[in-house]
Structure 1
Amino acid sequence: MTRVVLAPDSFKGTITAADAAASLAEGWASVDPAADFVHRPMADGGEGTVAAFAAAVAGARWMPVVVDGPAGVPVETSWLLLPPSAEAPGGTAVVDLASTSGIELLDELRPWHADTTGFGQAIAAALDHGITRLVVGIGSSASTDGGTGMLSALGARFVDDSGASVAPGARGLADIASVDLSALRTPPHVRVLTDVTNPLVGHRGAAAVFGPQKGLTGTDIPQVDAELARLADLLSLDPALPGSGAAGGTGGALVVWGATLAPGAAEVAELIGLADAIADADIVITGEGSYDGQSGDGKVPSFIAGLAAATGATTLLAAGRITADSDTALFAASASLTEIAGSSDAALAEPARWLREAGALLARSV
C-alpha cells in the first residue's frame, strides 16, 4: 500500500489548501485505489493559514468575530482557538491578516486608505478570550500602513501636532508627530508567520517591493518609504530588520509589540505535525498556485521538498502554473494545471477538476 501525504499550499484566490489536497487525492486514487492518504494542507502565513491549522489540529474551534475590514466596512470572519497545552494553558489563538485586513477583501485597491485595524481587532478578541499563546499569519496584506491600524486596535495612539489621532492607512503616516504606547495591551507569547524577509524601508522595503501590488505608484513610493522610516524612528524599530517590511510594515509593528518573526512554512509544519506524517510516507505531493523563480525561497513547495528528501520519500509537485525560471529539480515529477487544462483561464475556472487530473497524472508518473 502506498502512503501518500498531501501537503499543498492554497492556490491563491481559486481553491483552498484543504480542497486542493482532497482533489489531488481523488485523482491519485483513480489510478491507485489502494493508496493510504494523509492530509496535511499547508500555508506559510498568508491565505489559508488558519484553515491549515483547523484541518490538522484536533479540537480546534472557529471563533466568529466582526472586524473593520480594509475598506472600512464590517467583515464577518473568524479566528481559531487551539486546545490548551503545556506551553499554552489558556489555549493558542491563530489569527491571519488575510481574512481580516487582506487584499482579497477589497473590490478595488485602496493604497492610501486601506489599513490593518481589523487584524488588530481580531487579535484583541483573542486576547479577551484569555489565550496565552498567539500565532499570526501576515500574508496577503491590503495596505502599507506600517501596522499602525493593528497597533491602534491594541491600544496605541498615533497623534498629530494637535494631539488628535491621525487618519488610518498610509494617508495618515505623514501626520504622525508622536506615538503613545502606554495603553498598548500586554502581548502573550506571539509568533509571526511570514515568508517575507524584506526590511521596512529601502529598495527592498515594504513600499518599494509590495506597494505597487497594493496600488502605490512610482511617485508614491519614495514618499511612503520616507514616512515608514520616520515611523520606525518614532517606534524605536530597526528599519533594516529582516521581515519588518512584511505586510506593509505590520511585521515591524508586531516586533515593536513584542512578537517574534518566524519562517511561516516551518512554523505551520511544526504545529500540524508534518514531519511525523512525512516520516512514514512513500510519496509527498505539494503545490501552490504559481511555482516560479521565487518559490525556492522559503515557500511551501521547496520547504516540503527538503523535509521529504531527508526521509527518502518521493516528492511531487502540482501547481497552477510552472514558470520557465523555476527550479523543478527538487521534484521527481511535476504537473502544471495550465498545461493540463490547455490555458490559464481554463485552469483558474475549474481548479478542482484539473487538480484531480494532476493527481492522476502524478500517480502514473511514478
Structure 2
Amino acid sequence: MHAEGLRTKCILPAKRRRNTVSAPTIQANRMEVSPKVLKQMRLSRGLTAQMAAKSVRVALRTWQSYEAESRQSFRPIPAGRLELFCTKHDLPYPPTRQDGTMPKQNARIISLLSGTGGSGKTSISLELGRVFALEGNKTLVITNGTGVVPERFTFDNPSILSELNVQLHPTETRELRDDLIRKKVLDSTGQIQVAGVERFIAAGDLQRLQSKECAEAQLEGLAGEFEVIVLDDSVELDMALALSDLVMIVFDSQHWGAYLCAQAGFGGILKKNWEPNGLPQIRSLLVNVDTNEKADWGIHNRLPDFGPPAFHTVLTNAHRGARAEVGHAYTPDAKYNLLMDSAPTSLAAFEYRSLAREIKRELSKLKRAEQQ
C-alpha cells in the first residue's frame, strides 16, 4: 500500500480535567400574587386597569390577564413587572397580604347581592350582623337600605353605616364621575350639563357622587377596626368579588324573575371568573321559602345551573310570622329590635344562626386556602 493512501487517525492527548465544582443552577425568583390581591393593590392606589397597564408598559389585555379569576385566562404577572409596579406606586416589594391590599387588616367581608330588589337582603344583613355580634365579634353592617336609621336600633354591636357615607374603594368617586361624563350629565370640569327632566332622571347618580365625595369613612380603614363587615350593597358583582371574602347571591323563592335577573346580570361574570375552589367564595342563598309549596323548590332545583353552590340553610317565610308576633311601632322615636333579640327562640332566629355557622365554615376554608 502506498503511504499516501494510508489514513491515519490523529488522537490528541486528552485535556486534563480540572477539579471544579459545577455552579448551582439559579432559578428566577417568581413572585406570584393572586388576581384578587393584585386588583386590591391597584385599587388601593386609585388606578384603573388601563393606568396600571401603562405604568408597567404592557397592553391593557395583558394586565387584565394578570387579574383574571379564570384559570383559562389567568397569567401570573412576571416578578420584574410586579417589582416595577410596586416601585412606581409606592407599594412594598415583595407584597404581602397586609401590604398594599384592600382591605388590609383582619376583617372578613361578606357581601350580599341580588338580581332584584325586595329580596330581604337588608334584613338578612342586619340579622346576620347581630348573630356575629352576639358571638363576640366586633361587627359592622354597611347598608344601602333607605329606611335603615342606625339611631333607632337598641344595640351598639353591630355598628351600622349607610353605604352612601362609606367610600368602598379609592377609585369609586372617579368611576362614578367618569360614568356621568360618558352619559353627558357632567362635562370634563364636573359641571352639570343637563336640565329639566334629564336632570331629574340623573338626580340619584348625582346625589350618590356628592355623598361619596364627602364620605369620611373608607372601607380600607374600617377593615382595621372591625372583625366582620357585612356589606349590603348594590355594587357590581366584579367589584364585590374584589372587595369581599364571601359573596352571597340572594334568591327570592317566590319570584322566578329574581332568578332570571340574576342569571342575566351575573351569569356572564360567573361563567368567566367563578371556580369551585376559587377565591373569594361565592354561594347562593334561597329565601322566603314556603315549605308547604312545592313550587318554591323549583328555583332551588335550578340553582345548580346558576353555578355557585347554594347554602344548605334556606330562610323560610317564618321571619314574617315572627315579626308579626313581636310587632313594631313605626313611629319617629320608636326603637327597633331585630328578631335575634326580640324572638331569639323563633324558627327564623334558628335559621339565621344556622346560616351564620355555614358562613363561618366557608371562611375557615378560605383561611386554610390562604395559608397553603
TM-score by length of 2: 0.25
Q: Which has the higher helix share?
A: 2
Q: Which has the higher strand share?
A: 1
**Higher alpha-carbon Rg:** 2
